[in-house]
Structure 1
Amino acid sequence: MPPATRAHAPAGRPRDPEVDRRIIDAAVQLYGEAGWAGFSLEAVARRAGVGKASIYLRWSGKEQLLADALAARVANVADSDTGTLRGDLITLTRQLLRVYLGDARRAAHRIAVEAPGIPEVARRWTELRESQVLAARAMVRRGIRRGEIPENTSVTLLLDTLCGGAVMHIMTTPDGLVGQLVRDADRYAEELVDFLLHAVREANR
């Protein structure tokens, strides 16, 4: 069973992890397509090919289900220490690209707008985003301590530029070119990071 759902399952017979996966996947897909207004446990159950009772055995309602589904499939940006700032930032960028180019991309775009209106989802989403920001800031601070970039570098501006640039690049790519973007994602991550680090060093000469 995915970690996000484990705490909500009642004691008793172990749940089928395949059913958990199907429900999580169905919830993310449905939310991405229909948004909160079109999100219901009945629709998730139909898409997952399970009875609604199977969902209620695991989640108390649709807010809790969506919060767990997003945590499992969308919010997966984590700290990574490759030994260099360049390597860390490339890994960070690749993680962002996977989120916004993967199967959950529609849900990722929607939740940024709709989360404030969904209390349980908003709370979980805020916690997850804060943990991701802390992980990203840790990468940059390690680079500063190693002397890879000047110590007066603004961590906030660097990450705003990097993450904002990656997401904006995805959002402005025409639908017909998304497949090419997916294929070129690793190269793009390297080029974006190299461009940004060069600009940071040049600005502090």
Structure 2
Amino acid sequence: MTGRTRGRPRDPEADEAIMKAALELFVERGLEGANIEQIAKRAGVAKVTVYRRWSSKEELLIQAIEQARTLVPEADIWATTDAPPADERLMDSWVHTFGDTRFRAILAQLIGSSVTQPSLLATYREQYIQPRRSLIRAALERARGEGRLAADADLDTVIDMVVGAAMYRMLINPDTPPDSAATRRYLEAVIHQADRLLRPAPQQEGPDDYAR
């Protein structure tokens, strides 16, 4: 006896059209303007098609925002054991994200919505930002355990500094038009400065060292 599948398989093209429409309306009209009826109309699908996939517009937007944010899931990159290729893939993902004018507009709306409707950003933070931050912190903890970072390094503050610099670059002082090479140079400079803060202090030679 063979088992039956429940319902029809999801159409990836419909998923993409719905998420694209949701993000467009979110950027144009904010959270209130991005309602299911308008999303379905712009995507060219029935409202029931949207509700079969997502229980609310908030759930839909959160998934759409994350998909727009990165080329490769960062959990996959941080899990890579070969450090230099992993670092390069991570930088590629960040350059793609921070140099994307569309994502810049999405991020501005996401932050702006937190004033009147904080649940969207709170849920996005819980589902995506905090897990990503935990991955970064775990990687830094491993480096500290291996002696590559200072034992007293304040990892959370350094993470905040790097993320804050990237957010400033995206929202306050963006490239116009976007310049991937300039974005990469800026991010590399920020990470270099963060690395200097995290490095163990060089051992100073004392009198006993000269006597040997």
Q: How far apart, CA to CA, are the structure 2 residues paired with 1:54 and 1:143?
A: 47
Cα deviation, residue 158, structure 1: 1.3
Cα deviation, residue 122, structure 1: 3.1
Fraction of identical pairs, as percent:
26
Q: Per the alignment, in what secondary structure is the counterpart of residue 173 of structure 2?
A: coil
Cα deviation, residue 135, structure 1: 0.9
> Is residue 2:11 matched to residue 1:16?
yes
> Is residue 2:191 matched to residue 1:193?
yes
Aligned residue for 1:166? 166
- TM-score using structure 1 length: 0.76
Q: How far apart, CA to CA, are the structure 1 residues paired with 2:128 and 2:92?
A: 18
Q: Which has the higher contact order (CA 8 A, sep 6+)?
A: 1
Segment of structure 1 superposing worse, 75-84 or 56-65: 75-84
Q: How far apart, CA to CA, are the structure 2 residues paired with 1:154 and 1:88?
A: 24
Segment of structure 1 superposing worse, 51-60 or 144-153: 51-60
Listed one character per residue, the Cα deviations across residues 155-205 of structure 1 (whole Å, up to 9, x for unaligned) are 012111111112112222256x2412x342223222221122224448x45
Residue 112 of structure 1 aligns to which amino acid in structure 2?
I
Relative to 1, partners in 2 of residues 1:157 and 1:61: Cα closer, same or farther, differing over 3 Å? closer
Give yes or no for contact 1:90–1:190 (8 Å, CA) kept in 2.
Answer: no
Segment of structure 1 superposing worse, 93-102 or 124-133: 93-102
- Equivalences for residues 27-106 of structure 1 within 5 A: 27-74=22-69, 77-78=74-75, 80=78, 81=80, 95-102=93-100, 103-106=102-105
May I ask how many residue pairs the two structures share in their alignment? 192
Listed one character per residue, the Cα deviations across residues 116-139 of structure 1 (whole Å, up to 9, x for unaligned) are 725466335323221011011012
Q: Per the alignment, in what secondary structure is the counterpart of residue 7 of structure 2?
A: coil
Q: How far apart, CA to CA, are the structure 2 residues paired with 1:201 and 1:14?
A: 51
Q: How far apart, CA to CA, are the structure 2 residues paired with 1:155 and 1:88?
A: 20
Q: List gaps (5 residues or longer) in structure 1.
A: 1-9
Give yes or no for contact 1:32–1:104 (8 Å, CA) kept in 2.
Answer: no
Q: How far apart, CA to CA, are the structure 2 residues paired with 1:82 and 1:197?
A: 20
> Is residue 2:133 matched to residue 1:138?
no
Cα deviation, residue 36, structure 1: 0.8
